Amino acid sequence: MSLTLLIVQTLNGLQLGVLLFLIAAGLTLVFGVMDFINLAHGVQYMLGAYLAVMFYGLTGNFLFALVLALGAALVFGLILEFAVFRHLYDRDHLDQVIATFGIIIFLNQGVKLLWGASPLSLPMPEIFSGSVVLMPGILYPVWRLVIIGSGLAVALILYLLVGHTRVGMLVRAGATNAPMVSALGVNIRRLFMIVFGFGTMLAGFAGIMIAPILSVEPGMGDTILILAFVVIVIGGIGSIRGAFLAALIIGLVDTLGRSFAVDILRLFMAPSPARTVGPAIASMLIYLLMAVVLYLRPAGLFPAKGRA
């Protein structure tokens, strides 16, 4: 368990955390403001990655691909909202679960039909493709730093948007008491649409940014969706601040757990059982964390005011 490895893995954990935040932010807003359980949020992340690969193939330029894919992800999200979701806002959570589950099944198979079942890859921009020396002896890929940086930038923008603009004020008010906001004469439907489109775009953005270091494949949104739900539940549903902190915690716990669980267990037990048990414990760690947090604080760490 060298210091170098610890630093590198901490950065990796930070990178996962930032990525989770990008996805969880949209999810928690949609859940908090509209009380809508959108299981299809994960496939929008997948779609962002696929769209980026497609547009990169057409234009050969990462920046163009990024912009076009973001636009396309937004349009697709709005189409989904128009065609399916808006009929389900005032319905039971379970109707929302079944509909968005159907969309997952459809899109996972749809991308297989369009782009094939084998994993695709997206080359990263030339300038960011190398590694940088953090400290003597510690090399770290630039692109991961770019992901961390852009995620933190989005978090800052969100903080300013939600905390200091009129739309942000309405969103916060909507998360606390949507019927009241509506009664005050705010077009809550339009607010819903803006929040939804924005959330979709953030998920798409996460997918695009991660595509150069992960393989782009069907079903890639499913695992991340579950992680994002863990994040928003630990953070407190509807709370952006909660989502941010929980995302970083989950990212770090998961990454560090996976890297060091076996080493730590070897302090107490023989190497060979440690090698078997370690990975399982590492995978369970975040769920254990969630169970403990919810046991102690049944509404999450930072419940949005008025919802607890």
Q: Does residue 301 interact with other proteins by CB under 8 A? A: no
Between 107 and 181, CB nearer to other proteins: 107
Q: Of these, 2, 137, 179, 295, which contacts other proteins (CB under 8 A)? A: 295
Stretch that binds other proteins, among 48-56, 68-76, 133-141, 280-288 (CB under 8 A): 280-288
Torsion 76-70-28-232 (CA) sign: positive
Q: How far apart are CA 169 and CA 164, in angstroms?
A: 7
Residue of 114, 144, 12 lying closest to 53 (CA atoms): 114
With the CA atoms of 12, 44, 243 and 89 taken in that order, what torsion angle do they form, in degrees rounded to the nearest 10?
Answer: -170
CB of 71 to other proteins, least distance (A): 25
Between 91 and 189, CB nearer to other proteins: 91
| Cβ within 8 Å of residue 146, ≥6 positions away | 128, 209
Stretch that binds other proteins, among 67-75, 178-186, 204-212, 275-283 (CB under 8 A): 275-283
Q: Does residue 277 interact with other proteins by CB under 8 A? A: yes
Q: Does residue 263 interact with other proteins by CB under 8 A? A: no
CB of 92 to other proteins, least distance (A): 9
Q: Does residue 294 interact with other proteins by CB under 8 A? A: yes
Q: Of these, 122, 243, 290, 301, which contacts other proteins (CB under 8 A)? A: 290
Site for other proteins in 50-109 (CB under 8 A): 84, 87-88, 93-99, 101-109
CB of 287 to other proteins, least distance (A): 4
Q: Does residue 253 interact with other proteins by CB under 8 A? A: no
Q: Does residue 196 interact with other proteins by CB under 8 A? A: no
CB of 102 to other proteins, least distance (A): 3
Q: Does residue 284 interact with other proteins by CB under 8 A? A: yes
Window 204-223: contact mask with other proteins (x via CB under 8 A): ------------------x-
Q: How far apart are CA 29 and CA 26, in angstroms?
A: 5
| Cβ within 8 Å of residue 76, ≥6 positions away | 44, 47, 200
Site for other proteins in 6-45 (CB under 8 A): 31, 37
Between 108 and 147, CB nearer to other proteins: 108
- CA Rg value for the chain: 20
Between 113 and 133, CB nearer to other proteins: 113
Interaction site with other proteins (CB under 8 A)? 31, 37, 84, 87-88, 93-99, 101-110, 112-113, 222, 226, 229-230, 233, 237, 276-277, 279-280, 283-284, 287-288, 290-291, 294-295, 298-300
